[in-house]
Structure 1
């Protein structure tokens, strides 16, 4: 275990628990690459803006994390976010496996993995349970998320 990189992951999720996107951003390299099933390829400021958007919009939010592993180059953690998905009012409990790459004391790559169908079933209700496995619904979820991020970024400028 690399204590500094393990601490970096811990600092990131502790800041997330406090909905402190700027402290989260301090853990990232300026050219960080982020991906998950909803935001498949964000880089640099777009990744940070995603966290800013999510932390500002969080409702009834809680987060737990554990199983932090880190060496000189790579790391991982497991985390669970519980929140209300505002468009539907449904509570989501999202279980996520995170993978990281490090360089120069910062996170340079962050990849989250979770079951998008399970997420859709919770967030979207019956529609998500019935159709959340389809590529069409996955594409729609990604499109809505990208649109929301673009609107958030436009409002910040």
Structure 2
């Protein structure tokens, strides 16, 4: 196992045990995180997002990860988060494909991709089924996530 694979295993093992400090120790100070909900977060905002999500999950989020691979420059992983979405108390099983770029032995770019429509159906039920595919709903989800992070920070 190379060093970047070890970093990804450390990151996800920490995520699975809600160990914020170990998670962020895998990130470069200039980290750029991107996903369908938060869009792009840089440095402190990316770190605070993980802290907020772990604290809101109160240790009840189940994280499973697999298919970690990495070379000297980039890596990938699959992970699944199972949790109750706090706004609706609905169960969500989110299947994510992650891509990473490394610099100085740390993750400098982390991109998570998943089906936001499937996520919205689970998180919001019928409303998500009807509206989750629309740009309006996608933007509302983003705005609420960013506002939640801003009030948390």
With normalisation by structure 2, the TM-score equals 0.97
Cα separation, 2, equivalents of 1:51 and 1:134: 26
Q: Deviations over 1:42-63 (max 9, x none)?
A: 0001100000000000053101
Point out where structure 1 has 5 or more consecutive residues left out of the alignment: none
Once the two structures are TM-superposed, the CA of residue 20 in structure 1 deviates from its matched residue by 1.2
> 2: CA distance between counterparts of 1:53 and 1:21?
10
Give the match for residue 20 of structure 1: 19
Is the aligned partner of 1:138 residue 2:142? Answer: no
Query: Residue 86 of structure 1: CA displacement?
Result: 1.2
Structure 1 partner of 2:79: 79
Q: Does 1:94 align with 2:91?
A: no
Structure 2 counterpart of 1:34:
33
Uncovered stretches (5+) of structure 2, i.e. residues with no partner = none
> RMSD value over aligned CA atoms?
0.8
Per-residue deviation, 1:104: 0.7
* Aligned mates of 1:19, 1:80 — CA distance in 2: 14
Alignment of 1:87-126 (within 5 A): 87-126=87-126
Question: Residue 48 of structure 1 corresponds to which residue in structure 2?
Answer: 47
Superposition misfits of 4+ residues, deviation over 6 angstroms: none
CA distance in 1 between counterparts of 2:54 and 2:47 reads: 11
Q: C-alpha distance in 2, partners of 1:86/1:42?
A: 21
Q: How far did residue 116 of structure 1 move? A: 0.2
